[in-house]
């Protein structure tokens, strides 16, 4: 009757569940790989519906009448495929290269850039040819030696939320542990890190949690793990000896933002074990949007409280050939300065990697 006890407590919050897709597509070639076979077994054991598809581009007949329904269904649809292009994208400012383990995400963050980059049907795609992907990473490391090469595994997805399906982060962590000049990093809004805790990482993987003011998490981040879950997971990661970091993103100007971000840092400081502070990093990213993103967000989350008013923003040329709207310099600087001060007040030896 554990659930009754939890339900009777006024502050009870149900644990954020592991992602279970409602429909799964397999590209035939994926079944030639052990990881593809393991995912097929997992799907069959649970009696989940699945189909074969010649390519993710040819998925047709998805349920859902409107574009919005199809979008929501796509976020619950898993596509198991093979990564064909082994040319990696760059990933400034967080790393040299993006490591393609997955694309798409079951989260529903209103501001998420995947809404524009992944188009109308952002299925959750996972790639099963992990050996080939890691071989490609080995070549990129070789090209840059004697410099260190960092790979970001969370550019187009939240791989921690998919680890129970793929085990790919585990593979990548084990691989990087043996690379003197290779480093892995990824960021997550999910707390399902237990499969990573016992792995041999050799300090070569930095795990970061995306955190924010309570207001931002509550209004803009549905279908992700709650702040308390993330922070407890951060404690477990620190105790497992991983280099730990936080991404505060998107930083949003809202009524009471000072209190919101001050509380965030206080709660982090209160929860983290002392060993977390050594090598602790922060990355700060202010909210930005493009006109295309704004139009999409207004369709998909019509009631959003997200401020996207071009008139109160500063226009900047984005590297994707579109203007982006960030905060004007005075606001950006006030946010940066205040949060920086609070970070150093809470964690004097932390490092801030960038504010963008
Ligand atoms: O809020 C979105 C912004 O956040 C983007 O401009 C990228 C940036 N970002 C995201 C970042 O500064 N640090 C990170 O660690 C990210 C979570 C991962 C990342 C994504 C990155 O570091 N560098 C990137 O080039 N990306 C890519 O940006 C992924 C996607 O294709 C593109 C979206 O602008
Ligand atoms: Fe996007 Fe990250 Fe939210 Fe997933 S968790 S919807 S990738 S912002």
Instruction: Provide the mean pLDDT of the chain.
Output: 94
The residue behind tokens 């680890």 is 163
Residue nearest atom 10 in ligand 1 by C-alpha distance: 155
Q: Which of ligand 2's atoms lies nearest the C-alpha of 156?
A: 7
Confidence of residue 7 (pLDDT cuts 50, 70, 90): very low
Q: If we measure between CA atoms, which residue out of 304, 294, 337, 340 comes closest to residue 216?
A: 304
Residue 54: predicted pLDDT: 83
Q: How far is the CA of 93 from the centre of ligand 2 (A)?
A: 18
Q: What is the pLDDT of residues 125-149, one digit of tens each?
A: 999 999 999 999 999 999 999 999 9
Assess contact for 217 and 226: CB atoms under 8 A: yes
Residue nearest atom 7 in ligand 2 by C-alpha distance: 157
Q: Six-digit token pair at 106?
A: 């079951």
Signed CA dihedral, 163, 301, 119, 214: sign only: negative
Least confident segment among 21-25, 64-68, 87-91, 301-305: 64-68
Assess contact for 313 and 286: CB atoms under 8 A: no
Percentage of the chain beyond pLDDT 70 is 96
Q: What is the pLDDT of residues 214-256, one digit of tens each?
A: 999 999 999 999 999 999 999 999 999 999 999 999 999 999 9
Q: If we measure between CA atoms, which residue out of 79, 81, 72 comes closest to residue 30?
A: 81
Residue 313: count of CB within 10 angstroms of its CB: 19
End-to-end CA distance of the chain: 48
Residue 6 predicted with pLDDT over 90? no
Pocket of ligand 1 (CB under 6 A): 91-94, 113, 117, 152, 154-156, 187, 247, 249-250, 283, 285, 288, 356
Quote the CA–CA distance of 307 and 326 in Å, as a whole number.
11
Please report the DSSP string for 246-259 in residue order. Answer: EEEEEE---TTHHH
Assess contact for 24 and 76: CB atoms under 8 A: no
Higher-confidence position of 318 and 350: 350
Q: What is the pLDDT of residues 176-205, one digit of tens each?
A: 999 999 999 999 999 999 999 999 999 999
Assess contact for 281 and 311: CB atoms under 8 A: no
What distance lies between CA 195 and its chain's CA centroid? Answer: 17
Residue 8 predicted with pLDDT over 70? no
* Peptide bond between residue 350 and the one before it cis (omega within 30 degrees of 0): no
Q: Which domains does the chain show, CATH number per domain? A: 83-355 (3.80.30.30)
Residue nearest atom 24 in ligand 1 by C-alpha distance: 91
DSSP helix/strand/coil, 167: coil
Q: Six-digit token pair at 149?
A: 């090469």
Residue 283: predicted pLDDT: 98
Q: How far is the CA of 180 from the centre of ligand 1 (A)?
A: 25
Residue nearest atom 25 in ligand 1 by C-alpha distance: 91
Residue 121 predicted with pLDDT over 90? no
Residue nearest atom 14 in ligand 1 by C-alpha distance: 94
From 216, 224, 225, 247, give the residue whose CB has the most ligand 2 atoms within 8 Å, as the site to mutate.
224
Assess contact for 225 and 16: CB atoms under 8 A: yes
Residue 115 predicted with pLDDT over 70? yes
Q: Is the CB of 293 under 6 A from ligand 2?
A: no
Q: How far is the CA of 108 from the centre of ligand 2 (A)?
A: 7
Residue nearest atom 13 in ligand 1 by C-alpha distance: 94
Q: What is the pLDDT of residues 54-108, one digit of tens each?
A: 877 777 767 788 989 999 999 999 999 999 999 999 999 999 999 999 999 999 9
């Amino acid at each position: 009757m554990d659930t009754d006890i939890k339900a009777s407590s006024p502050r009870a919050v149900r644990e954020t569940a592991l992602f279970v897709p409602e429909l799964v597509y397999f590209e035939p070639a994926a079944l030639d790989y052990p990881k593809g076979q393991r995912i097929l077994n997992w799907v069959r054991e649970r009696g989940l519906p699945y189909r074969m598809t010649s390519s993710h581009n040819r998925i047709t007949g998805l349920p859902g009448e409107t574009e919005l329904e199809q979008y929501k269904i796509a976020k619950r649809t898993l596509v198991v495929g093979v990564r064909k292009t082994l040319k990696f994208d760059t990933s400034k400012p967080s790393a040299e290269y993006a490591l393609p383990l997955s694309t798409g995400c079951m989260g529903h963050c209103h501001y998420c850039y995947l809404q524009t980059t992944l188009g109308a049907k952002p299925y959750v795609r996972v790639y099963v040819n992990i050996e080939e992907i890691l071989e490609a990473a080995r070549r990129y490391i070789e090209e840059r030696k004697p410099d260190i090469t960092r790979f970001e595994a969370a550019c187009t997805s939240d791989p921690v939320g998919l680890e129970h399906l793929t085990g790919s982060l585990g593979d990548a962590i084990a691989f990087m542990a043996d690379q003197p000049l290779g480093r892995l990093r990824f960021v997550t809004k999910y707390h399902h890190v237990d499969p990573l805790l016992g792995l041999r990482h050799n300090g070569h993987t930095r795990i970061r949690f995306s955190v924010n003011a309570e207001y931002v998490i509550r209004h803009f981040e549905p279908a992700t793990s709650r702040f308390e879950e993330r922070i407890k997971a951060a404690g477990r990661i620190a105790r497992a000896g991983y280099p730990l970091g936080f991404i505060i993103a998107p930083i949003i100007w809202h009524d009471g933002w000072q209190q919101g971000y001050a509380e965030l840092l206080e709660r982090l400081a209160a929860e983290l074990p002392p060993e977390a502070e050594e090598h602790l990093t922060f990355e700060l990213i202010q909210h930005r949007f493009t006109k295309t993103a704004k139009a999409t967000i207004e369709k998909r989350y019509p009631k959003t409280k997200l401020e996207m008013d071009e008139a109160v923003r500063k226009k900047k040329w984005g590297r994707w050939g579109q203007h982006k709207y960030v905060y004007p310099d005075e606001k950006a600087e006030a946010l940066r300065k205040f949060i920086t001060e609070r970070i150093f007040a809470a964690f004097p030896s932390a490092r801030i990697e960038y504010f963008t």
